[in-house]
Structures are given as C-alpha cells and as structure tokens.
Amino acid sequence: MTPELLSLSNAPGMFVAVMLVKILAVFGVVMLMIAYATWVERKLIGHMQTRLGPTMTGPCGLLQPIADGLKLFFKEDIIPAQASKLSFVLAPMMMVVPALVTVAIIPFGRDITLLGYIIPMQIADLNVGVLFILAMAGLGVYGVVLAGWSSNSKYALLGGIRSTAQVISYELAAGMVIVAIFMLSGTLSMRGLVEAQQGPLWGITSLPAWIHNWYIFSQPLAFGIFVICSLAEINRTPFDLPEAETELVSGFATEYSSMKYALFFMAEYANMIVLSAVISTLFLGGWDGPFWGALNLFIKVVGFMMFFMWIRATWPRVRYDQLMFLGWKIFIPLAMLNIVVTALLILL
C-alpha cells in the first residue's frame, strides 16, 4: 500500500491526535524560545556593552526568565480609571494571538511516514500561505492601536499612532518585495516555497550539490529590504519609535502593568521568532540544510534573532521623518524595480 497524505477523511482519530501533538510541540517550543530569548537578549547585549547581564538567579542567570515571569504574575494589575476597559484588556491579547497563529503555517521538517500515512511537518499547509502571514501581521496592528488609544494617556497615544503609521508603511514594502519571490517559485504555499528552494542553484548542476537554490542568492535585494521591513514591523531598534524610552516613557505600553505588560513582551518576542522563521523559509530554504530538518530551521531562527539583538546593541534610533522617507521613497520604489527586473529575467 502506497502511503497517502493523512487527512481528516481517511483517518480522523489519528489526524486529530497527530494535530494535537504537532500543535503542542510547536507551541511549547515557541513559548520556551520566548522565555529564553529574553535571557539571551540580556546576556548578549550585556556582554556587547562590557557588562555581565543577569548572573544571580541560577547558573549564569539561567532561571532569570522564570523569576521575571513570577514577579510579573504576582504584581498588582492596574487599569487606569480613565481607560476604556474593554479595549484596554483586549489590546495585549490582540497582539499575542496573531503572532502565535502565524507559527501554524511554518514548515519545520521533511514529511514523515507513520503507519502508512504521510504526515507533513507543518500544522497547516495553506494554499495562500504567505498572504496569511500578511493578513495576521495586519491584525497585529490592532493591539498597538487599541493599547495606545484605550490607555487615555498622551505617551501611549503617540506611541500607538507612530506604530500604526510605521507598520502600515513597511507592510506595503514587505508585501511588494515578496511578490518577486512568488514570481520565482510560482506558489504561495510555504511548503511549496521550501520545495522550490531545494534544487541546484539557478539550475546549474555542475555546482557542488550542497549549494541549494535558496532565494537569498537570486533575490539579495528582496532579502535585505524584507529583513529591514521586518525590523520595522516588530518595532525593534533602530525602528523602535513607538516605545522610544527617551521621549515616550514606554510608548503604547506605558499604562500597563503585571501580566498585561508581560503579554506585550511575549508578543514582541513571538513576533521576532515568527518573522525569523518566515525570513528563513522565504529566503534561506526553511528546514533545508545539513542537519536534521527542524534543527536547521532552529539554527536559522536563532541566528536571525541574535542578529536583531546585535542591531539593538549597536544602532541608534532613526528619526521619524527618516523612517517615513526610507519606507515610502526608497523601499517601495526599490521593491517595484525588483519586481520589474525579476519579471524581465524570467522572460529572457
């Protein structure tokens, strides 16, 4: 019997069980990565600035994330009297959920065959994969907007407005830049994108077999623009204007405390992980590489996150007009140019 794709119709019980295992595993890994990303960030930036970072809790401060979590959990939860209660409570959740939902479409390994069924190592293979990511990124904006508005504080409102303008401008450039990727791959599904990147580079078979057709080689410009746009979309340095400490206290999160504040941090790190995984899948072949599938993806994601932290340790913040200038007058024309050049090269 040739193995067939496991689906709800041919083996319902097994399908549900496998799905639950996959969802729990991915969720667990992402949650652990979020917790320890805070530790890595503090350690890494500490050492880059000739400090030590956390050292007291556990060996090398390894228990610091747990201590931080417990501290935030037991803090008093304050809702400002002038705040709009519903939106104030809703906002942090509306930031976390889209980030975590996006993880569902990241493929993290080669298909495995179990009991005569093919099990894809991906929670859901959507026909419109990449558009789903853009849609979820669009929904993530609401968290920031609502947090800024509902706090009823001028710092929070300014942070929220800045963030919205920033995310909308850079989403446009990011969306246009990945059009070139679709033109090369001919598919929108993340699974299809990984498969398309496994052939020899540019179809030249005389190159060594370990060089794969990763789109970073064909689309270096798109890669650069997409990485910078991702930085802007997740409000990281040098684009962290929405929470610019020196001018806005802590931006949209100013009025938040306790677990709601922790949720904003979780959302930030979850977004970082998701975008690193998306960049790895779009440009670096996803789980393709020398090691076991999921390990390759893990290495790439950790690499990107360390890169983001490195930037945070070394770069100053850009000014607001520079940010808008970069997004609208440089990235969008460059993205269009990239589409035209790619189309011409495909036609030739």
Partner 1 sequence: MEILFFLFVAFVAVGSGVFVVTCKNPVNSAIALVNTFFCLATCYVMLDAPFMAAIQLIVYAGAIMVLIIFVIMLLNIGTVDVVKSSHAVAGGALMSVLVAVQVLYMLNRGEVANIEGPMTESAILEFGHTELLARSLFTEFLLPFELTAILLLVAIVGAIVLAKRDV
Binding site for partner 1 (CB under 8 A): 84, 86-87, 90, 126-128, 131-132, 134-139, 141-142, 145-146, 148-150, 157, 160-161, 164, 168, 171, 188
Shorter beta-carbon distance to partner 1: residue 33 or 332:
332
Shorter beta-carbon distance to partner 1: residue 109 or 143:
143
Task: Report how far apart, in Å, the C-alpha atoms of 196 and of each of 110, 181, 201, 281 are.
Answer: 14, 10, 11, 11
Shorter beta-carbon distance to partner 1: residue 29 or 89:
89
Shorter beta-carbon distance to partner 1: residue 11 or 31:
11
Which residues, in sequence order, are bridge partners of residue 113?
118
CA–CA gap between residue 46 and residue 60 (Å, rounded): 12
Q: Is 226:263 a contact under the CB 8 Å cutoff?
A: no
Q: How far apart are CB 132 and partner 1 at their closest, in Å?
A: 6
Shorter beta-carbon distance to partner 1: residue 107 or 148:
148
Q: How far apart are CB 241 and partner 1 at their closest, in Å?
A: 16
| DSSP-assigned states of every residue in 38-57 | HHHHHHHHHHHTT-----SS
Q: How far apart are CB 180 and partner 1 at their closest, in Å?
A: 16
| DSSP-assigned states of every residue in 182-221 | HHHH----HHHHHHHTSSBGGG-TTS-TT-B--HHHH-HH
Q: How far apart are CB 328 and partner 1 at their closest, in Å?
A: 13
Q: How far apart are CB 84 and partner 1 at their closest, in Å?
A: 7
DSSP H helical ranges for the chain: 12-48, 64-74, 85-102, 129-150, 154-177, 179-185, 190-196, 215-218, 220-233, 245-248, 258-283, 293-314, 320-325, 332-347
Shorter beta-carbon distance to partner 1: residue 71 or 329:
329
Q: Which of 209, 191, 189, 192 is nearest to 200 (CA)?
A: 209
CA–CA gap between residue 258 and residue 171 (Å, rounded): 30
Element (H, E) at 77: none
82 φ/ψ angles, rounded to the nearest 5 degrees: -85, 0
Q: How far apart are CB 138 and partner 1 at their closest, in Å?
A: 2
Shorter beta-carbon distance to partner 1: residue 148 or 289:
148
Q: Which two tokens stand for residue 56?
A: 């007291």
Q: How far apart are CB 47 and partner 1 at their closest, in Å?
A: 39
Residues in the chain: 348
Shorter beta-carbon distance to partner 1: residue 109 or 251:
251
Q: How far apart are CB 226 and partner 1 at their closest, in Å?
A: 17
